[in-house]
Amino acid sequence: GGRCRVGAGTLPDLNPGCGDGALCDAPQATGACADCHAPGIDGVLGGRDLLDATGIAHDHGVHCDVCHKVAAVDLDAPAGVGGRLVVVRPSEPSTVTTLDWDPLTFGPVADVVNPRMGSVYAPVFHEATLCAGCHELRQAALVPGTDVDRARWPDGTLPIQSTWSEWSAGPLAGVAPCQSCHMPPDAEAGNTADIDLVPSPRVGRIAGWWRPAGTSRHHSWDGPRSADGALLKLAATLEVATARDADTLSVDVTVRHTGAGHALPTGEPFRAVILAVSATCDGTPLVATGGDAIPFAGGAWARQEAGGDWSRWPGARVGQVVRVVRHDGWRDDPSPGPFGDGTFTGAAAGNRHLQVVGQATITAVDGDGRVTFDAALPEGDEAFLGDAGALVPGQAGRAVAGAPGHAFARVLADADGALQVPHHRAVDVVSDNRLVPGTAVHTTHTFAATCADPVVTAQLVWRGLPVTLVAERGWTSPDRPIAEVVR
């Protein structure tokens, strides 16, 4: 069958001579992706290539049989199967005529007697440690010829995923493990076999014991991409205060982390939580005159520092905007890990305080990427090429860096200084201002008021992927709503 490659990828990046038309069918370096993303590959555990994932391992990724073959978790080993996840597979001939091998299944209870699900009690299934098998990853620089800055990262590794350590340092540690939220109780299920809702002759040795309501748990892995978005809506709240003085509307916003036991967002570093603040008079948007601006993690098709040619934006389209911001020192918000424990402060922490200056709309673009604006572009320290208009939760993300608001993300950089890169290319974590459980972050904004009673809208959304990557790959990745206040 046909094979295609779009943009950069793990295999061509990590294997010199691979890519540029050459297929990577026998890579020497794989990034260890399959150890967590396709852990059910048949055969040897660990060190496999995602190209080995076929059948169930390809179609279902982390499927039932993977987790329930975990006997223990070794936190000192590398992430994934063959390392931190101590997986035991059966090898005894079966005494059940319909099976070739006796099943060996680990789980949270000791009295499953179904001969097709020979259960062994493993206490780790009641602990967050089970999730640490994959949701905790430190990584060295992987691209050949690159390395991390040992002055910043003395052990030579970067914190790529730290969900388990975030939980361990948070208020739910020892109280509510990951399973409490991401595998909520199923009040209607009599057991995990999800048989009829009332006892029947099948209950017992074959179908399982009938258990008290709520004992059995959903295996739906509720999270930010769940259809109902219930966990996201519990994760954070918004508080908005407004004041009008002469022709200026002032807005104060507080984003408060109220729900999750880990940082928000957590997991894959591509993710961001974006606060967008806007104001209108009779439906007409008001011009932002100052206040906090959304950083690069809010999405930009391109960015330039002062001194660049702000009249040239290759790839720009008519109707897009260029937003200009001013650098105003560094924010000192609560942050997770080394960005909040004093290891990195000020410029080293990279949480730049951006202030809105202004914007202009592109009315024409020539073949060299030179643009014409509807108004003179204001001066400032940094400019972002973005999309006009406000965020629309439930729709594809817009590039809104430089607009009024803020963004919370762990931002990775590669050896060329590109930001929000895939973690296999990372040589530094340049900033990490993600929301810490139980803390709050405050922002202020000003608009030119043209009526007596302007309407202010503050939106908080979760974004799974950068807009540039979504566009490059042709993916669908809508912004998911967390909270909204209209005042």
**pLDDT tens digits, one per residue of 413-439:** 999 999 999 999 999 999 999 999 999
- pLDDT grade for 104, boundaries at 50, 70 and 90: confident
At 375, the amino acid letter reads A
Look up tokens 């009599």; give the residue. 190
The neighbour count for residue 180, using CB atoms within 10 Å, is 14
Longest dimension (CA), the chain: 85
Look up tokens 């408060």; give the residue. 256
What one-character-per-residue DSSP string does 415-441 give? Answer: TT--BS--GGG-SEEEEE-PBPTT-EE
Q: Check: CB of residue 213 under 8 Å from CB of residue 187.
A: yes
* Of the candidate ranges 2-16, 95-109, 303-317, 385-399, the one whose mean pLDDT is the lowest: 2-16
- What pLDDT is stored for residue 188 in this prediction? 77
Residue 452 has pLDDT above 50, yes or no: yes
Give CA torsion, residues 323, 324, 328, 329, to 10 deg: 80
Compute the radius of gyration of the chain from its Cα atoms.
25
Look up tokens 């205060």; give the residue. 241
What one-character-per-residue DSSP string does 291-321 give? Answer: EBB--GGG--SEEEETTS-TTB-TT--TT-E
The neighbour count for residue 132, using CB atoms within 10 Å, is 23
Question: Distance between CA atoms of 69 and 120, rounded to whole angstroms?
Answer: 10
Residue 185 has pLDDT above 70, yes or no: yes
- pLDDT grade for 197, boundaries at 50, 70 and 90: very low
Of residues 64 and 188, more confidently modeled: 64
Q: Check: CB of residue 202 under 8 Å from CB of residue 208.
A: no
- What pLDDT is stored for residue 24 in this prediction? 76
Rounded (to 5) percent helix, strand, coil in the chain: 15, 30, 55
Question: Distance between CA atoms of 274 and 484, rounded to whole angstroms?
Answer: 12
Question: Distance between CA atoms of 140 and 144, rounded to whole angstroms?
Answer: 11
Burial of 22 (0-12, 13-18, 19+ CB in 10 A): exposed
Beta partners for residue 272, in sequence order: 409, 463
- What pLDDT is stored for residue 50 in this prediction? 87
pLDDT tens digits, 215-256:
888 888 899 989 888 999 999 999 999 999 989 999 999 999
Backbone φ, ψ for residue 431 (5° rounding): -160, 160
Of residues 362 and 31, more confidently modeled: 362
- What pLDDT is stored for residue 218 in this prediction? 87
Question: Distance between CA atoms of 219 and 211, rounded to whole angstroms?
Answer: 16
- What pLDDT is stored for residue 102 in this prediction? 73
Backbone φ, ψ for residue 352 (5° rounding): -70, 140
Look up tokens 């109780």; give the residue. 185
pTM of the model: 0.93
- What pLDDT is stored for residue 288 in this prediction? 98
Is it true that the peptide bond before 144 is cis, omega within 30 degrees of 0?
Answer: no
The neighbour count for residue 269, using CB atoms within 10 Å, is 25
Is the torsion defined by CA of 401, 404, 410, 413 positive or negative?
Answer: positive
- What pLDDT is stored for residue 431 in this prediction? 98
